Structure 1
Amino acid sequence: MPETNRIEYKRELSTGLEKEVIAFLNSREGGLLYIGLDKDGNTYGLADSDSDQLKIKDRLKNNIRPSALGLFDIVSEEKEGQDILKIIVASGPEKPYHLRKYGMSEKGCFIRIGSAAEPMPQKMIDELFASRTRNSISRIKSIRQDLTFGQLKIYYEESGHKLSSNFTKNLELLTEDNTFNYAAYLLADKNSTSIKVAKYSGGNRADLVESNEYGNECLVKATKQVIDKIAIENRTTTKITSKERQQSQLWNPIALREGIINAFVHNDYTNEIPPKFEIFADRIEITSAGGLPEGLSKKEFFEGFSVPRNKELMRIFKDLELVEQLGSGIPRILEHYGKDSFSFSDNFLRMNFMAKEVAVVDGGQTGGVIGGVIGGVISEAIDNESALAKRQKEVLRLIAANTAITYNEIAQALGINESAVGKHINALKEKGYLERKEGTRGYWEINL
């Protein structure tokens, strides 16, 4: 593709990197910057892409103001046998972005015009600054200042990171006067943000059969709890005919996970309304506060343009690998559900995931999972596998019931630790009974 208003090529890492990124941050749609391609798109590659990636992250972190952390991704790719880097830049919510060295001047601010980054006129700089969003979770002072972050530290350690003593500043959890902000409050061990998952027996809210409350703790933990709860509800249905056995889950697990995370990360917390999750007999509804971010159209939303409402949360969720890369969530949902699954209002965004038809066994008997126990035909097939140990069969039954089940859920169900679960799963994979699809955020496929 040629260079456009959203695509820029650089043959090598040069001094103009920050200028190009600032221009994308100040634009309405963000953009893509490739390092290792010349202006015509020819591949030259990079001698040391890993080193260049670290340099880029350091430069964008230290040389751009306001902070661009959480607003860019750096992805390593291969083209024609050569290593190149792709920098995904979102449209920033705190325009105008500028070079730290020159401040908010025509020498420090840039805007994308055609396929070039041009100096921003002073009048535009003044207008953007005057309309800059000030009511954001980074600027709102936390209602409590006695915050602790033990849970957040554990999640970082589990992801292979260690938070330094200066982490509240590095993660932008402080206001300009060095007090904890509302982002810090949401990520603290204790808060008053309640997340509800409601379950109804029918297709409306008339008969509430179950109400679960999560939250009042670190938002990352609440997110994981909601993901696990809905994964349990996403049971596997089975259709048995005279010729074959067909298995499928009520909802696509990848799209469902993306919808949950999207609701948490992009919810407008400034009005203290958390996201809401509702399970009906025929659908799951996920509702988040706040309509489309300012300056983002529905067309751009569906095409994956990213305007993070809460860049601090986005950055942390990316660090913890809950989010893959900017702008990837909605396109992944659209691979399985149509645009009509989304509804917008001035104050809310709702995702509506319809369940697949309930499958039946020939003869009219209900198939699928009932009370966490899989149908007799599948259970019998697993029991007949002589190559499997008793515990391996138990693990396989749980996975057959819920192909998006987590190690922790299996461990709890069987009363063993997660490391033991890992050994059983590795054994099942080696024997060819189990295969992981779509990576860490995907699902299990059973081969019997």
Structure 2
Amino acid sequence: MDRIILENKSILLLLEESVEMYKKYYQYEKIDGTSRKIVNRIPENAFREAIANAMIHRFWDINAFIRVSMFDDRIEISFPGGLPSGMSEAEYLDGQISMIRNPIIGNVFYRLRYIEMFGTGIKRINKSYHNSLTKPQFKVYENSITIILPTVLSTASLTSEEQLIVQLFNGNLKLSRAEIEKQSHYNKAKLIRILNSLSDKNIIDKSEKGRATKYQLR
């Protein structure tokens, strides 16, 4: 995808231009009968919340960018600055404590309704995926945080057995057939049938051959 650096602009303009980039790659129109509807491959609300979260919680006094990496199957948003002093990873993910590193930006976003309530951003990102087999991930490091937003995978077109197998891959894992068999408790013949069906539906990819064969979500 395109490599674009957004800088020397207002916070609000940076947010809106980031959303426009998101729409270019992850949003399209679908004709349904006589009407058109917007389809989001990745929830727009989740992307907005993640960008706002990055701006509110990042360190602004160091020479580092918020990095938005867009892939076919996910978006990764990384920003400088770990958790505020006194906040645990569990408290950050659960929204138990509202500790904003940049309260002025937070108040502006709140007044303009870019965010709803302080401390609810992660919960709202997760809620955007409630009907998806794929779920967002949050990687918290000492000096940075990365939010990973996968493309939505609806349960509507999958059998219950296929859904169970897909859930094993959450987190962009690569698994061998033996590993999947061990976790799913399906016998070899049944598992191969399910894996072939998921491959035909363009849900999973198979890499390598023979004993080195690995499966992963597309």
TM bucket (normalised to shorter chain) is 0.5 to 0.7
Task: Report deviation, 1:319.
Answer: 2.7
Task: Report deviation, 1:213.
Answer: 2.1
Corresponding position: 1:286 with 2:77? yes
Structure 2 portions without partners, runs of 5+: 155-218
Structure 1's consecutive aligned runs of 4 or more residues displaced over 6 angstroms after TM superposition are none
2:172 is aligned to none
2:43 is aligned to 252
Task: Report deviation, 1:228.
Answer: 2.1
1:350 is aligned to 146
Partner letter of residue 140 of structure 2?
F
Cα distance change of structure 1 residues 247 and 271 upon mapping to structure 2, 3 Å threshold: closer
Verify the 8 A CA contact 1:238 1:247 in the aligned structure 2: yes
Task: Report deviation, 1:290.
Answer: 0.8
Equivalent-residue separation in structure 1 for 2:91 and 2:11 (angstroms): 28
Verify the 8 A CA contact 2:126 2:136 in the aligned structure 1: no
Partner letter of residue 349 of structure 1?
I
Equivalent-residue separation in structure 1 for 2:153 and 2:48 (angstroms): 20
1:317 is aligned to 109
Q: Give the secondary structure class of the aligned counterpart of 1:312.
A: helix
Equivalent-residue separation in structure 2 for 1:350 and 1:356 (angstroms): 19
Partner letter of residue 265 of structure 1?
I
Q: Give the secondary structure class of the aligned counterpart of 1:228.
A: helix
Task: Report deviation, 1:307.
Answer: 0.6
Q: Percent identity?
A: 26
Equivalent-residue separation in structure 2 for 1:349 and 1:273 (angstroms): 13
> Deviation digits for residues 183-209 of structure 1, max 9, x if unmatched?
xxxxxxxxxxxxxxxx3xxxxxxxxxx
2:17 is aligned to 225
Structure 1 portions without partners, runs of 5+: 1-198, 200-209, 241-245, 359-448
Q: Relative contact order, CA 8 A, sep 6+: which one is greater?
A: 2
| Alignment of structure 1 residues 14-413 onto 2, 5 Å | 199=1, 210-236=2-28, 248-304=39-95, 305-337=97-129, 341-356=137-152
CA RMSD of aligned residues (A): 2.7
TM-score for both structures, normalised by structure 2? 0.59
Equivalent-residue separation in structure 1 for 2:136 and 2:28 (angstroms): 25
Q: Give the secondary structure class of the aligned counterpart of 1:212.
A: coil
Task: Report deviation, 1:340.
Answer: 5.9
Equivalent-residue separation in structure 2 for 1:278 and 1:340 (angstroms): 15
**Higher Cα Rg: structure 1 or 2?**
1
Q: How many residues align?
A: 146
> Deviation digits for residues 394-428 of structure 1, max 9, x if unmatched?
xxxxxxxxxxxxxxxxxxxxxxxxxxxxxxxxxxx
TM-score for both structures, normalised by structure 1? 0.30
Task: Report deviation, 1:283.
Answer: 0.7
Equivalent-residue separation in structure 2 for 1:230 and 1:216 (angstroms): 20
Verify the 8 A CA contact 1:258 1:333 in the aligned structure 2: yes
Hey, which of these two has a bigger chunk of helix by percent? 2
